[in-house]
Amino acid sequence: MTAPARSNGVPSPAKPRERALKSVPAKSRSRSAAADRAYARRAQRTKPSTRGPAVTRRPVVTPRAPFVVMVMVVLAVGIAAIMWLSTQATADSYRLQDAQAEQTRLARQVEQLRQEVALSESPLKLAEAAAKLGLVPAGDPARLKQLPDGSVEVYGKPSEAKAPEPPPSETPTPSPNPPAQPDPNAQNGQADPNAQQPPARDGQPDPNAQQPGQNGQQAAGGQ
């Protein structure tokens, strides 16, 4: 702001001085030598700066309107830009809020799933699920050792895994299950059930001890 004021101010002292000179009687215009020198110095001083205004002095009067228009346009554009930006910022903050809400929701979902996984991984739940399938904890297995000459030595005697006492009423329920389960397996042929079922089938006849001992020995030998 100071720069325009200065450039404006420079020609302005000239104008009032001219007016003042006119109003002062002519004889008082005769100056002392010192005053002359002062004026000369002043002229010297103002000369460089008058060069600019001297060039622009003429057009100053006419082309003011474009400048004003330009300033107005700049202001208008500026205000519009500020308004637009602040609207955007607000809109963004709403979007941020939404995104945060979504993040919270997903985080909760993750926690929920994490909890479910942890719960179903727990040995307690696994044991429960195994018992539901009719599995019982295995007894002492026999251990096989292959000797260098290729023969196999058996250590220990495999013991039958006995179903716990309580489920005499439940024993009928697991036994219909095995015949029922292999059927959907054979038809579906899904990877997962297949992977899970065979051990269950091997295991079940063994603990229940309802079928001939071939399976049981194999299973025990395998362990």
> Rule CB under 8 A: which residues touch other proteins?
2, 5-6, 8-9, 12-13, 16-17, 19-20, 23, 89-90, 92-94, 97, 104-105, 108, 111-112, 114-115, 118-119, 121-125, 127, 137, 140-143, 145, 155-156, 223
- Toward other proteins, which CB reaches closer, 123 or 168? 123
Give min distance, CB of 143 to other proteins, in A.
4
Give min distance, CB of 196 to other proteins, in A.
18
- Toward other proteins, which CB reaches closer, 36 or 111? 111
- Toward other proteins, which CB reaches closer, 133 or 142? 142
Roughly how many angstroms between the first and final C-alpha of the chain, as a whole number? 94
Q: Quickly tell me which residue has 């096989």 as its tokens.
A: 144
Give min distance, CB of 135 to other proteins, in A.
14
- Toward other proteins, which CB reaches closer, 5 or 82? 5
Give min distance, CB of 158 to other proteins, in A.
11
- Toward other proteins, which CB reaches closer, 93 or 211? 93
Give min distance, CB of 85 to other proteins, in A.
11
Please name which of 17, 47, 217 lies closest in space to residue 209, comparing C-alpha atoms: 217
